Structure 1
Amino acid sequence: MDIIDTITKENTTTKEVVMASEMLAEISDDDDFLEEDPQRIELVISSLESVVRAGEASINVTDPVVRTINNLMNLDRDILEDGMIEGGRAVAALERQITNFQTSDGNFSTVLDNVGVTAVKIDARSVGSSLAYANILPENETLSIDGALQEGNTRLFSDGDAIPLNRTATSISVPSSVLDLLGGAGVELTAVPVTFIIYGNDVLFRPSMPTEVEESKEEEDNSTVTERIASQIISAIIRTENTSIVNLPPGSPVITTFLSNLVKIILCEKS
């Protein structure tokens, strides 16, 4: 696998980065091949980091990066742990690639079996009480903690009050007042870059090992909020160039909800 050499050489072309990202998505789709030798998993993650460092904003890079993450989340948790594979590096690579994509003009949304990503430019003036992202269960469906995310059931809400909480497996709501903060910092409120990511399992998350993004961001920076209950993880990322959210407005927390078989759990991220 010469992806790292290809991407790190000088004058790397967009075509080469696209081809490398597609190759990673294809290789990572073979669970048995990767699990035969944990070093192959390590090499896939290292190659993924190299692809992301190229800084390409193209959807043709972003989509295969998301597919690679989806594939890696199918791996056996024990193999990752026994091989000391730092799955958090893959998660950090995904977040960096979405940040790359947000420098372009388009929107991106996909929901796969293990991961759902929505990266959009939001007109903050059209948001109701909050901007929310939620995984909604169909009528009369029983919750499965490790169940696959389903296309069409994971949706963006321009008003968090519209979420049917009794059928919501996982959600995160960002109050409109947080978006207003960006306006005060000079960010154009008609196109605020917001990203929501939902992970169907925690295979790539090791509690004792924070992701690179978590390690590198400033202690008081609330531009990324991630919550985890059992195997479910959901995050919201609001990040613009040279702008960080340091203090959330009083009384306006970011709210996450997780539905278990027994109880609805509501968490508030305060300043």
Structure 2
Amino acid sequence: MTAARTVVVKYGGHAMTEPALRRAFARDVVRLREEGLRPVVVHGGGPQIGAELDRRGIKTPFLNGLRVTGPSALDVVRMVLAGRVQPELVGLLNEHGPYAVGLSGEDARTLTAERRYAEVAGERVDLGLVGDVARVDTALLELLLDHGHIPVLSSLGRGEDGQVYNVNADTAAGAVAAALRAETLVVLTDVPGLYADWPRSERVVDRIGAGELERMLPGLSGGMGPKMEACLRAVRAGVRSARVLDGRSPHALRAGLAGSAGAAGPAGRTGTASVGTTVLPDGR
């Protein structure tokens, strides 16, 4: 089986907080494997991390969709990702067979990170221990895939100096998809897709080329910025398509990959998931 059939899925939002959606997601990922694809799941844990930080009274503002992360916040991030979110997801996947293997971007230096800064009002702002992905070592991921496993990767990376960084899960998924030359990157989120003119319009862009997306990117706000940046990075590196799907709908992953055009139900929580937004390389 070739790496061209690899699908990288960023798992987040309501899909990872509501029990029915968690189970539907796990079943869908295993079905992809059963159908001959090679799924890789990259997860964050924003809601769970936020709840634990609040419980401890640790304030972590967001800048350009990225969580400012100090040393105490990083300890919480590592604990929640590796000790809570990942074991639960691995357990749900393995209810359907002995497939899933959990690992962190720190393991075997899968993700080498470098310090990331935000630009606010034209000035560079320190985000603390937030990292961008400088390099992906795919050896461990490919070994697991070649043996029929489903890698479940936490979005942490280690710098050349040994410092651990909190890497946005969208960013990590885009970098992993690019390094594996995946067929598709799928990003599950809590909105129907990329809005054409938010907040003036709720019209969702069905398809967009890399060049047009790059022009839109500076104007995107909140968490959509890192998501679309990850999609752009992936398709520019050879990934055939990247899709942003509404993870509030059951089986959004399979419906999106199948190109279903069914409309979601109220609040995107029932019915068949829409196809969201597909990002394509220029010329396709």
Global fold match (TM > 0.5): no
TM-score normalised by length of structure 2:
0.29
> TM-score scaled by structure 1?
0.30
Larger radius of gyration: 1
